[in-house]
């Protein structure tokens, strides 16, 4: 419980800031809600669909790629591939979107592909690092008990690296939520429509109607994943429990 105090304190500070913002700008917020509430709800669903689909595919592919690179027969390729992933993480998001649009056109498909690429990198890196950090003695003990390689991965390596993998997933989803507004630039929809339209029209209320939900979604989803990481990972492999 004591180790959760920082999280609880940050949640209280954030809630206090929201209350202050509401009371300080109550009339303006009510007017924004009246004007843009339907758009915000509709575009928020689009936004989370982009994040959910691309994030789900990134989790599946990233974990599988990390497991594959950690195998002994991939030892020669693991370091070069990880270097490529590290370099890929430095590429600006707009550049990834531009490349995706160049090959796939405009619409939801190139948006999903770009978001998938951005989310894939931290998940694959953390999966590889987490599995490689598992003690060799545990693997030797499992082998000595007669466990097959697949069972060693599923019952020894993955459970012991779950905390690191979950941290990568949490980072990837947070990146996706913050990056998804840019998908509007290539026809992907989402809350970026309000943000960039507000910028073009110099309409601050419309801009804030897109920015505030994105920020709230990012904080809320990160908090949910943080609680899942705390409670779902076994105590023996969770360093903060």
Q: What is the DSSP string of the chain?
A: -GGGHHHHHHHHHHHHHHHHHHHHTHHHHHHHHHHHHHHHHHHHHHHHHHHHHHHHHHHHHHHHHHHHHTSGGGHHHHHHHHHHHHHHHTS-HHHHHHHHHHHH-SSHHHHHHHHHHHHHHHHHHHHHHHHHTS-HHHHHHHHHTT--HHHHIIIIIHHHHHHHHHHHHHHHHHHHHHHGGGGGGGT--STHHHHHHHHHHT-HHHHHHHHHHHHHHHHHHHHHHHHHHHHHS-GGG-TT-
- pLDDT tens-digit readout, 99-124: 999 999 998 999 999 999 999 999 99
For residue 241, what pLDDT is reported? 65
> What is the average per-residue pLDDT within 66-79?
90
Poorest-pLDDT segment among 2-11, 145-154, 228-237? 2-11
Say yes or no to pLDDT of 226 above 90. no
CATH code linked to domain 35-237: 1.10.3720.10
| Domain residue limits, the chain | 35-237
- What average pLDDT does the chain have? 86
Question: How confident is residue 182, by pLDDT bands cut at 50, 70 and 90?
Answer: very high
pTM value? 0.84
């Amino acid at each position: 419980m004591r180790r959760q105090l920082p999280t609880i304190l940050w949640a209280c500070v954030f809630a206090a800031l929201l209350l202050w913002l509401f009371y300080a700008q109550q009339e303006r917020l009510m007017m924004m809600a009246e004007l843009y509430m339907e758009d915000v709800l509709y575009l928020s669903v689009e936004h989370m669909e982009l994040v959910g689909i691309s994030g789900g595919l990134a989790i599946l592919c990233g974990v599988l790629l990390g497991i594959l690179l950690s195998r002994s027969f991939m030892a020669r390729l693991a370091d070069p591939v990880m270097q490529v992933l590290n370099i890929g993480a430095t590429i600006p998001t707009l550049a990834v979107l531009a490349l995706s649009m160049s090959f796939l056109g405009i619409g939801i498909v190139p948006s999903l592909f770009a978001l998938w690429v951005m989310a894939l990198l931290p998940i694959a890196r953390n999966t590889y690092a987490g599995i490689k950090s598992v003690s060799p003695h545990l693997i030797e003990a499992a082998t000595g008990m007669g466990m097959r390689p697949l069972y060693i991965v599923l019952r020894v390596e993955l459970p012991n690296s779950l905390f690191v993998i979950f941290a990568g997933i949490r980072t990837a989803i947070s990146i996706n939520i913050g990056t998804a507004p840019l998908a509007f630039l290539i026809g992907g929809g989402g809350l970026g429509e309000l943000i960039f339209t507000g910028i073009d029209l110099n309409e601050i209320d419309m801009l804030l109607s897109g920015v505030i939900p994105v920020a709230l979604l990012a904080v809320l989803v990160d908090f949910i994943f943080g609680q899942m990481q705390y409670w779902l990972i076994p105590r023996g492999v969770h360093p903060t429990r």
